[in-house]
Amino acid sequence: MALTFDLGTPVNTALFLYILYSVQRIILPSTSKPSKVPHEFKSGYSWMPKTHQATVMYKVYTPKTLQPFNGQDGGRILLAIKGTVFDVTAGRNFYGPNGMYGNFAGRDASRGMAKQSFDLEMLTPIDQPLDKLEDLNGMELDNMKGWIEHFTNKYIVCGKLVENDAI
Ligand code: HEM
């Protein structure tokens, strides 16, 4: 049986026009810009956030300038281990005001990480020289290195910690 395509019938004409339109959309896709920039995904695929994401700047901190980043005000939370400052804001449950490790927020956490203790005496007062960690034994140093690895993999390295009078 021979198949014929009669453009004369209304159904075939409509089908033909639809195919033409679809092929034209593929070959010449619409490049017109939306009148309003969409700000959410459901408004279109090419959307832009309302504001640029906050960027994390690598900075030099001292014990005194690090301390305000303790999350008490709901802001960013930073902590340092062996001179490296990590942005641990994403771990607010751990380091926020009610977090189990909240003592480390805004502080040099090296000794506590090495000795596996979040007691206050692990922290060096912020107006004193940095903890040299010279008395730590091999196991404690390894423990601290393990935490540095954990933090490097999980959080953003955002600075280094130096003595108060260094900057
Ligand atoms: C009472 C004993 C402790 C319990 C039950 C406990 C429990 C936990 C749990 C459940 C996690 C989350 C693990 C995960 O989701 O990956 C965690 C993480 C952690 N713990 Fe403990 N912990 C204890 C003691 C300590 C001590 C003494 C320290 C002191 C250094 C410590 C430091 C940490 C740190 C730094 C993390 C990683 C948090 C992060 O990823 O930001 N923990 N702990």
Mutate to test the pocket of ligand 1, among 82, 89, 100, 151 (most ligand atoms within 8 A of CB): 100
CA 126 to ligand 1 center in whole angstroms = 24
Token couple for 37: 């920039």
Enumerate domains of the chain plus CATH numbers: 59-161 (3.10.120.10)
Closest residue by Cα to atom 22, ligand 1, is: 100
Separation CA 2–CA 5 (nearest Å): 10
pLDDT at 90 over 90: yes
What does the mean pLDDT of the chain come to? 91
Give the helix/strand (H/E) hosting 145. helix 138-154
| 42-60 pLDDT per residue, tens | 766 667 777 888 888 999 9
Angle at 145 between CA 140 and CA 151, to 5 degrees: 130
Task: State what percent of residues in the chain have pLDDT above 70.
Answer: 93
CA 117 to ligand 1 center in whole angstroms = 10
Token couple for 144: 């601290």
The model's pTM is 0.76
34/112: higher pLDDT = 112
Token couple for 10: 């209304």
33-37, 74-78, 150-154: segment of lowest average pLDDT: 33-37
pLDDT at 55: 87
Separation CA 114–CA 111 (nearest Å): 5
pLDDT at 77 over 80: yes
Closest residue by Cα to atom 13, ligand 1, is: 94
